[in-house]
């Protein structure tokens, strides 16, 4: 059985859960996670967890928020005057909007509050600030 090492392309099945037990993501038999160790395709902490595993081996790993999507940052939450949105455009809490910033850079943001005067937008990743637990099974190594 092959061990995983730097440069290996691995096939992994996983179930990702949060501290409250809620599943945030998982693979299927038809769509496993395939990545190359050292190619920065997944979190470095996940690469580390897979290193030296053998095919068929299972492992649980907790990736702290700081090594996953980082902390929730207040500076990623902005309030925008309602007048900056097209008149008549319906904006609701929970809606995702693509917002273009200066320099033409666009970012998808979540509407967290809507008043007559302002719209509050959160640009944090939905999993920012959360520790992630992965139940891993190594399926293949190339």
Domain count, the chain: 2
Q: How far apart are CA 97 and CA 91, in angstroms?
A: 9
Percent of the chain with pLDDT over 70: 99
Both tokens of 83, joined, read: 């007048």
Q: What's the pLDDT band for 2 if we cut at 50, 70, 90?
A: low
Please indicate, yes or no, whether residues 24 and 46 belong to a single structural domain of this protein: yes
Whether 36 maps to a domain, the answer reads yes
Taking every pair of Cα atoms in the chain, the longest distance, rounded to a whole number of angstroms, is 63
Q: How many angstroms from the chain centroid is the CA of residue 71?
A: 12
**Are residues 60 and 137 in contact, defined by beta-carbon separation less than 8 angstroms?**
no
Predicted TM-score of the model (pTM): 0.85
Q: What is the CATH number of the domain that holds 15?
A: 3.10.50.40
- The number of helices, as runs of H, and strands, as runs of E, in the chain is 1, 9
Q: In this structure, what token pair is assigned to residue 44? A: 């470095």
Strand (E) or helix (H) holding 47: helix 44-50
Q: What secondary structure does DSSP assign to 102-113, as a single string?
A: GGG-EEEEEEEE
DSSP helix/strand/coil, 48: helix
Same domain, 64 and 19: yes
Q: What is the pLDDT of residues 54-84, one digit of tens each?
A: 999 999 999 999 999 999 999 999 999 999 9
Question: Tens digits of per-residue pLDDT, 22-57?
Answer: 999 999 999 999 999 999 999 999 999 999 899 999
Would 1 be classed as within a structural domain?
no
């Amino acid at each position: 059985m092959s061990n995983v090492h730097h440069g290996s392309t691995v096939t992994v099945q996983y179930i990702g859960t949060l501290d409250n037990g809620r599943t945030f993501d998982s693979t299927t038999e038809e769509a496993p996670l395939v990545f190359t160790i050292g190619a920065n395709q997944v979190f470095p902490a996940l690469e580390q967890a897979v290193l030296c595993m053998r095919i068929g081996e299972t492992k649980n790993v907790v990736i702290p928020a700081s090594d996953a999507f980082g902390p929730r940052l207040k500076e990623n939450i902005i309030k925008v005057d309602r007048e900056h949105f097209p008149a008549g455009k319906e904006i609701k809490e929970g809606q995702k909007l693509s917002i273009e910033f200066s320099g033409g850079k666009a970012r998808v943001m979540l509407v967290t509050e809507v008043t007559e005067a302002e719209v509050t937008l959160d640009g944090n990743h939905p999993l920012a600030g959360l520790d992630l637990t992965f139940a891993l099974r190594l399926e293949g190594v190339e």
